[in-house]
Structure 1
Amino acid sequence: MKRKKMVKWFIWLWILLLLANGALIIISPSFLTAVGQGLVVEDDLNDADVIIVFGGGEGVERVKYAVDLYEKGYAKRIMLSGGMGHALTSVPWAVRMKEQLVTMGIPEQNVYVDDRAESTYDNAKNAVNFMKEHGWKTGIIVTSPYHMKRSLSILYRITKKERAPIKWYHSSSTYSSFMVTQWWKDRWMRKIVVEEYMKLLAYKLKYMY
């Protein structure tokens, strides 16, 4: 079984290398759409103890969507997770996102900051620890559509390993520029898709096999 899974992931890697080298003209749009859709995971939302935003690319878009959920009453608290992120700034993602939240009218006392997460693994690990420390049982993960598959893969594994009694919901930012049906037509989106599958493969090889 493990060997079959390994073969599957290496096939995906081969396909992605083709995509990265511009071999898109020989691949059908329906297949490319399925490749993009493979990164996106949708869920039915429910009220939760907290909304947790994973920082990184499209941080502004993720925060705007978290505010939408907050204002619709899905949760009364927002946690922002993200470290330095960019070498060009000395301000952690979480701090920058908090400034944006407060500017948008979210009470500062309802905002929690994790400014130590330097990777998606850190985002997930710190989120689980944060929930356990506060005794909260339900959380909504917010990130970009292309980032959701990897985020949840890591989050669920850590939650299970920690035996944490947490129910996770998730919702991708609707403000994201990522388009499942058009990603191969844009250089930034092509780069994102290839990188996400490469990181997923690396994660699977490191933790699953």
Structure 2
Amino acid sequence: MSEPDEQIKDAAARRPRGWLRATIVGTLAFAFVGAGFGFIAFLSQLRGAEVKPARNADGIVVLTGGSSRVSDAMELLAGGYGKRLLISGVHPTNDVQDISRTLPDNHKLLKCCVDLDRSAINTRSNAAETRRWARERGFKSLIVVTSNYHMPRAIVELSHAMPDITLIPFAVVGDKWRDEPWWTSGGTFRLLLSEYAKYVAAEMRVRLADIGLDLTSDLAEQPAATPRRPATAQANKD
């Protein structure tokens, strides 16, 4: 075979590889840009300050896992924003007395109007247990209390589990969030990226489930109990 023929053959062999490489690079670039815009859209949903609910609801649910979530939910209950409060994701070894020690001013409310859910281990099981609680009580509206960065995913899961119940978000804003911009803190930035990834995964799972494709298994089994810790400490890992 002559040298020109070999060059033509080599060029023909390189063209498919070049096309494949360009396709992969273009797809990755498109995905990266899309993820960037999605992250910006996610950040735009996060409140920078706490705003009292515009209306009352039948009940209040607080998802454990962040500082001051439970105390803020108790304030809403004391203010008459709901009839009862569900604390979802309480550590299995904790009880009302543990919470009472951290919130001594709300002892009466804790005894009369607060229910504890020790089964939930993540946001999805929070939603399942909240649905059960709300239906048992006949509630048609709930104020949802959780951290601002967790609220988008919580609303996705709760709305999917309870499409017939009105959800009113109350986003808890931590001191660190108020004291310094999130982009100046490596820890906060990593937390937001992680939460954004979980939020996207929850959106995809819910959308697939809506068209009859539930690719996930049932809720994970609750892990074995660990040594006692404060009731307001993080029991819900997700």
TM-score, normalising length from structure 1?
A: 0.69
Letter in 2 for 1:55: T
Amino acid at match of 2:131: V
| Aligned residue in 2 for 1:204 | 203
What 5-or-longer segments of structure 2 have no aligned partner?
A: 1-27, 209-238
Secondary structure (helix, strand or coil) at the match of 1:146 reads coil
- Secondary structure at 2:115 match in 1: strand
> How far apart are 1:10 and its partner, in Å?
4.2
**Residues 89-119 of structure 1: CA distance to partner in whole angstroms, max 9, x if unpaired?**
x635x86873356523242121101111000
**Structure 1: gaps spanning 5 or more residues:** 1-6, 17-31, 85-89
Shift of 1:178: 2.7
Please state if 1:150 is matched with 2:164: no
Question: Could you say what secondary structure the match of 1:51 adopts?
Answer: strand
AA aligned to 2:100 is E
Distance 2:100 2:143 in 1: 21
Distance 2:102 2:206 in 1: 35
**Other-structure match for 2:165:** 166
CA contact (8 A) 1:62 1:175 kept: no
Q: Which moved more, 1:115-124 or 1:67-76?
A: 67-76
Residue matched to 2:121: 118
Offset, 1:144: 0.5
The residue that corresponds to 1:45 in the other structure is 54
* 1:62 correspondence with 2:64: no
Distance (Å, rounded) in 2 between the aligned partners of 1:63 and 1:97: 12
Q: Distance in 2 between matches of 1:97 and 1:53?
A: 16
Give the aligned residue type for 1:65.
D
Partner Cα distance (1:121, 1:147) in 2: 12
Query: Following superposition of structure 1 onto structure 2, how do residues 1-209 of structure 1 map, counting pairs within 5 Å?
Result: 10-11=31-32, 14-15=35-36, 36-40=43-47, 44-58=53-67, 61-84=68-91, 91=93, 98-99=99-100, 102-107=103-108, 108-160=111-163, 165-175=164-174, 177-179=176-178, 182-209=181-208
| Preserved CA contact (<8 Å) 2:42 2:196 | no
CA contact (8 A) 1:37 1:180 kept: no
Q: Distance in 2 between matches of 1:101 and 1:75?
A: 21
Q: Contact between 1:49 and 1:77, CA under 8 Å: does it hold in 2? A: yes
- Contact 2:100/2:107, CA 8 A, preserved across alignment: no
SS of corresponding position for 1:117: coil
CA contact (8 A) 2:57 2:142 kept: yes
Q: How many Å separate the matches in 2 of 1:100 and 1:137?
A: 31
Q: Normalized against structure 2, the TM-score is what?
A: 0.62
Change over 3 Å in CA distance of 1:101–1:110 after alignment to 2: farther
Could you tell me how far apart the structure 1 residues matched to 2:31 and 2:158 are?
A: 23
Q: CA RMSD in A?
A: 3.4
The aligned residue for residue 24 of structure 1 is none
The structure that has the greater radius of gyration is 2
- 4+ residue segments displaced more than 2 Å: 9-16, 32-45, 94-104, 174-181, 204-207
